[in-house]
């Protein structure tokens, strides 16, 4: 019995030893792994939060920059639209005005030659002639000279009067050209390239014709001058028609664009 008891003690001791030597180290090792895994998960979670915060902050910063750029683009777009509207509105205002100035200039320059309606000054009294010259803004020295001739040499008086009237008409035509040219120079920034080109060429031809019609111009070859003026008048007529067609086409196109914008 004693021997059996001793054998049981030995077996139990061996089992306990085996457990202490094999199972318990594995248990504590796994336990350590579990603790390490929990700590790693905590660190990973913390890193994830930090990355999320950095990403969110960066995202917000980029959104802010994009919004700022978007607002700038909107501002530029609005400015371009306003500029376009300004140019369109100005064209509707300035095209007809420029064409009117051109028409007036051409009419005044062309009236310097050809059939002219003149007054029969021989049928007017000296007082009526004086009033007429005052209305035409004759200089006093010219008025006195003509009136001095009127009683004794009416033909000389009439020649001086007619010469002065031609100069006045020329000055009026010249002024109408200056008005058209000045209007063009001041407002061509609102004109299209096509209208600018036609307008400039047309004004150049009008200026040349005006110079040729100067009553004090000495002409060496009358026939050559007449041929040149005939060619200028033909070119002016063609350019005038071209200017009208170009302006009409552009204004019509602008109207259609305005209708599209209004309906959208």
Number of domains in the chain: 1
CA within 13 Å, CB half, 107: 6
| 213 in any annotated domain | yes
Q: Can you give the residue range of the structural domain that contains 115?
A: 100-263
Q: How many CB atoms are closer than 10 A to CB 117?
A: 5
CB neighbour class for 109 (10 Å; exposed up to 12, middle 13-18, buried from 19): buried
From first to last of its 264 residues, the chain has per-residue pLDDT tens of 555 555 555 655 555 555 555 555 665 566 555 655 666 666 667 666 666 676 667 667 776 776 666 666 554 554 444 545 566 788 999 999 999 999 999 999 998 885 555 677 777 888 888 898 898 888 898 889 899 888 888 888 888 888 888 888 999 999 999 999 999 999 999 999 999 999 999 999 999 999 999 988 887 888 899 999 999 999 999 999 999 999 999 998 876 665 444 445
pTM: 0.61
Q: Which residues contact 242 (CB under 8 A, 6 or more apart)?
A: 198
| 46 in any annotated domain | no
Measure the CA–CA gap between 197 and 217, rounded to whole angstroms.
Answer: 29
Helices (H) and strands (E) in the chain, counts: 7, 0
Q: What phi, psi does 127 have (nearest 5°)?
A: -65, -40
| 1 in any annotated domain | no
| 169 in any annotated domain | yes
Measure the CA–CA gap between 49 and 47, rounded to whole angstroms.
Answer: 5
């Amino acid at each position: 019995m004693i021997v059996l008891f001793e054998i049981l003690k030995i077996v139990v001791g061996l089992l306990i030893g085996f457990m202490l030597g094999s199972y318990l180290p594995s248990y504590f090792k796994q336990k350590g792994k579990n603790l390490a895994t929990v700590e790693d998960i905590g660190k990973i979670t913390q890193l994830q939060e930090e990355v999320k915060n950095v990403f969110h902050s960066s995202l917000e910063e980029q959104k802010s920059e994009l919004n700022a750029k978007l607002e700038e683009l909107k501002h530029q777009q609005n400015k371009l639209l306003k500029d376009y509207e300004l140019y369109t509105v100005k064209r509707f205002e300035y095209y007809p005005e420029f064409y009117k100035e051109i028409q007036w200039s051409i009419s005044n320059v062309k009236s310097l030659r050809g059939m002219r309606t003149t007054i029969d000054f021989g049928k007017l009294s000296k007082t009526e002639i004086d009033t007429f010259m005052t209305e035409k803004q004759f200089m006093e020295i010219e008025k006195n000279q003509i009136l001095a001739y009127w009683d004794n040499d009416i033909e000389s008086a009439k020649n001086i009067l007619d010469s002065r009237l031609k100069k006045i008409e020329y000055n009026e035509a010249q002024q109408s050209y200056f008005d058209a040219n000045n209007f063009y120079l001041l407002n061509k920034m609102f004109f299209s390239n096509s209208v600018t080109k036609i307008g400039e060429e047309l004004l150049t031809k009008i200026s040349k014709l005006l110079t040729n019609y100067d009553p004090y111009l000495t002409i060496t070859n009358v026939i050559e001058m007449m041929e040149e003026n005939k060619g200028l008048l033909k070119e002016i007529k063609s350019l005038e028609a071209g200017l009208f067609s170009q302006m009409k086409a552009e204004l019509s196109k602008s109207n259609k664009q305005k209708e599209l914008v209004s309906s959208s």
